[in-house]
A and B are shown apart, each in its own frame.
Chain A
């Protein structure tokens, strides 16, 4: 399908497919039919719609699938949406997206992948996103992953995020995978220069026999670099989660990582934090807590009139908010 530029969505597909697309888009990018800023929609391995702005350019890569997103320096408060949807069963889509953020720019980037698989073959999307922030740039990066469909074909997502922060820049990343993804390995890597800040908040919920593995690797190379990595997860049924975090303090720096998991049924959760101080001025903290929902929390909400099931839902929804 050819890329349409600066046009509204016009879809010749059947109504039901259009509905599926809209549902997937709304789950991963707060789609409301109107988009401000720049965007690029990828469906079943191909770009289907794109809009650029005066300050944000999107260019298709020539050597491999994917795009380069260029944000001009001093761009303020613009949005970049790059959703990916997969509705074809059996598709294995790999995409390389590079974000080049100019000096002192301040933008919000919303990415995500929604898979609808009603068939038997596995559908997979591996998004490799690299962020290159110039001096003083600020990015809020929101990434959502969602799977649906009644087929027994697996919905697999393996996102890789690499973040390179130059002096004085900040990247705040929020990632969530709340429903329907059978298998995921999420890798996040950060390389930080001086006076930079990398904040990651990850939310994962697994059910059935799903597997989720998250791997963080952060190198604090510049003075006063700091990172906060927070993972909140809920594992239910027979699902399995593994949280791995490696943080290296190579100079005067600060790091705080926190893994907090609620476990239910026969689920298993493993946390293997690793913090390495290679400098006497490095200040690194890790906290990990795994456990079932506290009985007293259920009792409190039940005294307010909720049934045990409703109380549990409230606690989990709050925890993953």
Chain B
């Protein structure tokens, strides 16, 4: 087992954000987490990466108890995290960020290769600063490039489709479909998108801080989401 979450609880402002979460992620799996807004998905992945600390519970990664480890210790053990809102920097270029991600001296050709994979014209972007001059879609792609380059045992994407326009979004899904074949190790991705859920080995459905169900695409996407959620909205359904 690559990742084990044992009885994770997280409460803020008297609200149970995560309520006794137990979840196992196996090696080489593409796992999608989905569920309504406010169900605790983002908090859960932040707790896995160490960005938030759980009030109780235990996290085991690759056989090691990492519950009290810092973010960078977890990164060094083989975790990688793509933010929902990519962080901007003043003065740090795309190339700088990719070099830090790769944890070794990479040349521009290698940086360009990974940028091309995420659908960016590498020449135009490699020397640009990761700042406000880039659009939301461009920042998202650069964010994805930084995590892909790490070749981590576990790569986490916190709702990559959030906050980008429809055109960029469709392109991004294409990229994910390709990357899901290429990324070594396991992937956890928070998503509401049918195309992403369809390529997942496993889907975790969360609701109100709890895991409601875990299953494959047919079990969750078709039976739980498409049928039930769709029918709630459509009065013509029987």
Q: CB within 8 Å of B: which residues of A?
A: 232, 260, 294, 296-297, 299-308, 314-315, 317-321
Q: Are B100 and A319 neighbours in the complex by a CB distance under 8 Å?
A: no
Interface string of B76-88 (1 = CB under 8 A from A): 1001110100010
Q: Are B91 and A304 neighbours in the complex by a CB distance under 8 Å?
A: no
Q: Are B72 and A305 neighbours in the complex by a CB distance under 8 Å?
A: yes
- Shortest beta-carbon contacts, A-B, top 10: A318-B91, A318-B92, A300-B87, A302-B71, A305-B75, A303-B81, A302-B72, A319-B91, A321-B91, A296-B87
Tell me whether B101 is interfacial, beta carbon within 8 Å.
yes
Assembled-state Cα–Cα distance A315/B79 (Å): 22
Assembled-state Cα–Cα distance A297/B89 (Å): 7
Q: What chain B residues lie within 8 Å of A315 (beta carbons)?
A: 89, 92
Closest to B71 in A: A302
Tell me whether B96 is interfacial, beta carbon within 8 Å.
yes
Min C-beta distance of A230 to chain B, whole Å: 11
Q: Are A304 and B146 neighbours in the complex by a CB distance under 8 Å?
A: yes
Q: Are B75 and A299 neighbours in the complex by a CB distance under 8 Å?
A: no
Q: Report if A306-B100 is in contact (Cβ < 8 Å); known contacts: A297-B87, A299-B51, A300-B87.
A: yes
Assembled-state Cα–Cα distance A23/B90 (Å): 29
Min C-beta distance of A320 to chain B, whole Å: 7
Q: Are A260 and B90 neighbours in the complex by a CB distance under 8 Å?
A: yes
Q: Are B89 and A318 neighbours in the complex by a CB distance under 8 Å?
A: yes
Tell me whether B49 is interfacial, beta carbon within 8 Å.
yes
Closest to A305 in B: B75
Closest to B74 in A: A303
Closest to B78 in A: A305
Q: Are B83 and A300 neighbours in the complex by a CB distance under 8 Å?
A: yes
Q: CB within 8 Å of A: which residues of B?
A: 49, 51, 70-72, 75-76, 79-81, 83, 87, 89-93, 96-97, 100-101, 103, 146, 150
Q: Are A301 and B100 neighbours in the complex by a CB distance under 8 Å?
A: yes
Assembled-state Cα–Cα distance A230/B81 (Å): 34
Q: Report if A303-B71 is in contact (Cβ < 8 Å); known contacts: A314-B100, A318-B96.
A: yes
Q: What chain A residues lie within 8 Å of B81 (beta carbons)?
A: 303
Q: What chain A residues lie within 8 Å of B97 (beta carbons)?
A: 304
Closest to A315 in B: B89
Q: Are A306 and B83 neighbours in the complex by a CB distance under 8 Å?
A: no
Q: What chain B residues lie within 8 Å of A232 (beta carbons)?
A: 90-91
Assembled-state Cα–Cα distance A321/B100 (Å): 17
Which of B49, B76, B89 makes the CB contact (< 8 A) with A305?
A: B76
Given contacts A304-B101, A315-B92, list 14 more A-B pairs with CB under 8 A: A232-B90, A232-B91, A297-B89, A299-B51, A303-B72, A304-B150, A305-B76, A305-B103, A314-B96, A314-B100, A318-B89, A318-B90, A318-B91, A318-B92
Q: Which of A300, A307, A308, A315 has the most CB of B within 10 A?
A: A300
**27 pairs of residues in contact across A and B, judged by CB atoms under 8 Å:** A232-B90, A232-B91, A296-B87, A297-B87, A299-B51, A299-B71, A301-B100, A302-B72, A303-B49, A303-B51, A303-B71, A303-B80, A304-B75, A304-B80, A304-B97, A304-B103, A304-B150, A305-B72, A305-B150, A306-B72, A306-B100, A308-B72, A314-B92, A315-B89, A315-B92, A318-B93, A319-B90
Min C-beta distance of A152 to chain B, whole Å: 33
Closest to B80 in A: A303
Assembled-state Cα–Cα distance A306/B51 (Å): 14
Assembled-state Cα–Cα distance A307/B87 (Å): 17
Q: Are B90 and A302 neighbours in the complex by a CB distance under 8 Å?
A: no
Assembled-state Cα–Cα distance A302/B76 (Å): 10
Q: What chain A residues lie within 8 Å of B92 (beta carbons)?
A: 314-315, 318
Q: What chain B residues lie within 8 Å of A299 (beta carbons)?
A: 51, 71, 87
Q: Are B100 and A304 neighbours in the complex by a CB distance under 8 Å?
A: yes
Closest to B101 in A: A304
Q: What chain B residues lie within 8 Å of A303 (beta carbons)?
A: 49, 51, 71-72, 75, 79-81
Assembled-state Cα–Cα distance A160/B75 (Å): 48
Q: What chain A residues lie within 8 Å of B75 (beta carbons)?
A: 302-305
Min C-beta distance of B42 to chain A, whole Å: 14
Q: What chain B residues lie within 8 Å of A294 (beta carbons)?
A: 87
Min C-beta distance of B154 to chain A, whole Å: 12
Assembled-state Cα–Cα distance A317/B89 (Å): 11
